[in-house]
Amino acid sequence: MVIYLSGEVDEARLDEMTPRQIVTELDKHVVGQTAAKRAVAVALRNRVRRQKLPPDMAADVMPKNIIMIGSTGVGKTEIARRLARMSNSPFLKVEASKFTEVGYVGRDVESMIRDLTEIAVEMTRVEKAEEIADKAEAAAEERILDLLLPSSSRATHFDFDAEFTDQPEPSGEDQLTREDGGANRTREKLREQLRAGKLNNRIVELEVRERSFPTIEVAGPQGVEEMGINMKDMLGNLFQGRTKRRKMRVDEAMENLIQEEEERLIDMDAVARTALDRVESSAIIFLDEIDKIAGRESGAGPDVSREGVQRDILPIVEGTTVNTRYGMVKTDHILFIAAGAFHVSKPSDLIPELQGRFPIRVELESLTIEDFKRIMTEPKNSLVKQYRALLETEGIELDFTADAVDAVARFAALVNEQTEDIGARRLHTILEKVLDEISFEGPDIEPKQQKVDAAYVSRALSEIVKDQDLSRYIL
């Protein structure tokens, strides 16, 4: 049996991971790109190191923000995604370009921090909920038993639609005369049946809190989400007190009650405090598409000027205090990982102040045929494994041979070269095309063993290979 002392198990695990171990973990999902993996691993480790320093020094150690440079589809976002899953730190991915879009004029970039805080609060709440899950369940069970057994409480609503044969339900009068021992025995019997799921079909009536309130979208130029949040809070409070009685199945009631008990047992103020703490000391923001805001000319037309967006982002990266609905958040130690293709612009096109706040630059390499082969087969949930599993659900045994993998990889490289280089994304389009026939036939296909080899691949793609213009549209 595992005993958890607190909710920090996973965090402890990451704390103990050396940069080398972090890279090894990333290797399971992302092929190649060692430089980028090393950079993020070191940045993460440095934060753990910082937290072990005496406070006055720790305050001065700034995060080593990273810019990942690499053309499209080489794994920039993939690295960030995997990191997020591993790190158990509050993690937010935003496209820097969205701040320049027409619809977002005036959207303040501080919303990143507010979103991040929401994520941290939810994360912390879920952890706390796991900690008290047993308690909540036990309490919910007692309440269900109270509902089912009127003798032990004042709740008298019960009826049954399912056959409930084990013992005749005692009538109200019987119970008044019954001594405690008997009642207890009945209760324990009922508990056993409840746990075995035998009572799931019975209906109980339950007081539930009214949750639905009219959705009102409040959008104004001055910070959409802040207003939205406040409105929701207000309305939430307005409707919170309202309850209504609802009939439901026992299993549904159990879920409802567990949730209610959780809410009762979790101290949301403490959760918010922990969450704010986590945001300040260990959060990561992944700023994707940063190249889209590089360039100093102010955009012609309705777009917000890119330089303007950079200037807005600057204080947050630099370290500022942002007001969220859970309290103030200092952004000084949030780690920023930016990424961009930088085809048109270069990192040096960013305003100097921002460049200075991203001291680490790593380049991601273009993917080779060898990489493509590995991407298709090696990662834990690689593409070929995904297709095999998908088809298996319909009883098809897909045998995707090594020379087929080779053929697809070569073909992907060729198309990337001749048309647009979209990196490993090309594999998705090509594989989809190759497996089109089998996917379409699905359960009707005969025989159930389907072999895809190099010959099959070239047959499936032959029409498209011939015609370059066609391949431009199809792949």
Ligand X SMILES: Nc1ncnc2c1ncn2[C@@H]1O[C@H](COP(=O)(O)OP(=O)(O)OP(=O)(O)O)[C@@H](O)[C@H]1O
- Strand-pairing partners, residue 324, are 327
Nearer to ligand X, 317 or 375 (CB): 375
Cβ at position 145, least distance to ligand X in Å:
49
Nearer to ligand X, 287 or 404 (CB): 287
- HSE-CB at 157 with a 13 A cutoff on CA atoms is 13
Which residue shows structure tokens 């659900």? 393
Cβ at position 50, least distance to ligand X in Å:
28
Cβ at position 44, least distance to Mg ion in Å:
19
DSSP label at residue 380 = T
> Angle at the Cα of 144 (from 141 to 148), degrees rounded to 5?
135
Does position 74 interact with ligand X (CB under 6 A)? The reply is: yes
What does the binding site for Mg ion look like in residue numbers (CB under 5 A)? 77
**Site stretch for ligand X (CB under 6 A), options 5-13, 71-79, 130-138, 184-192:** 71-79
Cβ at position 78, least distance to ligand X in Å:
3
Instruction: Tell me how many residues contact ligand X (CB under 6 A).
Output: 18
Residues with Cβ within 8 Å of 13's Cβ and at least 6 positions away in sequence, in order, are: 88
Measured on CA atoms in the order 123, 125, 128, 134, is the torsion positive or negative?
Answer: negative
Nearest CA-CA partner of 319 in 308, 328, 307: 328
Q: Restricting to residues 268-327, which ones interact with ligand X according to CB under 6 A?
A: none
Amino acid sitting at position 395:
G
Q: List the alpha helices (DSSP H) in 319-421.
A: 352-356, 369-377, 383-392, 402-418
**Site stretch for ligand X (CB under 6 A), options 47-55, 67-75, 148-156, 182-190:** 67-75
Residues with Cβ within 8 Å of 391's Cβ and at least 6 positions away in sequence, in order, are: 397, 398, 438, 439, 450
Cβ at position 375, least distance to ligand X in Å:
4
**Which one of ligand X, Mg ion, none interacts with residue 72, CB within 5 to 8 A by kind?**
ligand X
Show the tokens assigned to 14: 């990451």
Cβ at position 335, least distance to ligand X in Å:
18
Q: Mark 5-34 with x for binding to ligand X (rule: CB under 6 A) and - for no binding.
A: -------------------------xxxx-
Does position 78 interact with ligand X (CB under 6 A)? The reply is: yes
Which residues form the interface with ligand X (CB under 6 A)? 30-33, 70, 72-78, 341, 375, 379, 423-425
